[in-house]
Amino acid sequence: MATPLVRATRCLILALTTAWPACSANAALPDAVAPVSGPPAQTGRHVLLIAYELRNGGISKTTRSFLNAAGYLHWQVKVADAKSSNDAVREQLLLQATAKDIAGVALIGADSAGYHLELTMLKQMGKIAVGWHAGSAPGPNAELFANITTDPLAVAQAAVDYAIGSSAGPMGAVIFTDSHFSIAMRKAQAMKTALERCKRCKVLAVRDVDLSQTAQIIPKLVPELARQYGKAWTHTLAINDLYYDNINFPLHQAGRADIVNISAGDGSNSAMNRIREGISQQKATVAEPCNQQGWQMADELNRGFARQPPSGFVSKPILVTQERLLSHGRDGDIEDNQSYRQAYLGIWFKKP
């Protein structure tokens, strides 16, 4: 979609903290894929989308889905890839999002708490900011009109349940997380707590590994963990599939082809491929319904533009295994229920 050039603008605004309106009572059925109602399409808006790292599968998929939804709303969207740089995100918020024609911001994969001043400033300017995986929980937060994510506790529990079910004997788990992201820390803590309730399970370690450095860190970390924990290490749980992109070779070198790897997010293309083909020790991932969530991001922005409260809708995570992938065929989409498109279009373009 064509996007307008945005003139850099300097803004000196005293940021005062205000709260977004409370979520509306837009209750949906347990298996719903969208809210039940909402405002009509607020067409013709200009939006700045800031992706923290477009090489990340979840971020890129959500971005594509948002752009697809934005096309139906006749929005012009400028996309900025921060390439894992907090400074780049901050620069976009200060110099691009403040432009007069920008009505809203979509922050994808960057923790909003790290940009509290900038996002509060935009709020004071009357601009609407929504996020995807931009906080530790779904819904509004101090910086955002709405944060789109599944319940991280449900994601963590699904990963742990699969791990426990994959073995009948003693289980020793290493957990990988990234302290740069509050949602990652919340998932990791939830996995640790769930494992500690299992009598035959033990949490051997929780390791803080920067997602942007996994290719460099994981090959060195695996032999260290193998020496330290030996056969007690039976499972790895991680908050993102990236940790397993470079783990197979060092595991084989360490003679640990028996370790089972499970991810609590987000269902990257590379993870799907290796799980489907059975060529990896990663046996499952708990995926986000990124296509559905991209459309929800557009819907929440639309609600903000209409000066209505957030929907309060929370999507459900998807446990992805080889069996599930094979049942969908090579080109199948794991998001079985794609009726969210019709649901949102029905809300936006409902005839009087």
What residues does each domain of the chain span?
46-149+289-315, 152-287
pLDDT at 31: 74
152-287: CATH homologous superfamily? Response regulator (3.40.50.2300)
The per-residue b/e assignment along 102-126, b for 16 or more CB within 10 angstroms, e otherwise, is bbbbbbbbbbbbbbeebbbbbbeee
Q: List pLDDT tens digits, range 10-43.
A: 332 222 223 333 333 354 556 789 999 999 999 9
Whether 46-149+289-315 shares its CATH topology with 152-287 is answered yes
- pTM of the full structure: 0.83
Q: List pLDDT tens digits, range 99-154.
A: 999 999 999 999 999 999 999 999 999 999 999 999 999 999 999 999 999 999 99
The per-residue b/e assignment along 304-341, b for 16 or more CB within 10 angstroms, e otherwise, is bbeeebbbbbbbbbbbbbeebbeeeeeeeebbeeeebb
| Blockwise average pLDDT, block size 10, the chain, 352 residues | 34 30 45 92 99 91 97 98 97 97 98 97 98 96 98 96 94 97 95 97 98 96 98 98 96 97 91 94 95 98 99 96 86 74 96 75
C-alpha separations of 138 from 51, 53, 95, 267, 329 in Å: 18, 20, 27, 18, 31
pLDDT at 128: 99
pLDDT at 329: 66
Domain 46-149+289-315: give its CATH architecture: 3-Layer(aba) Sandwich (3.40)
pLDDT at 15: 29
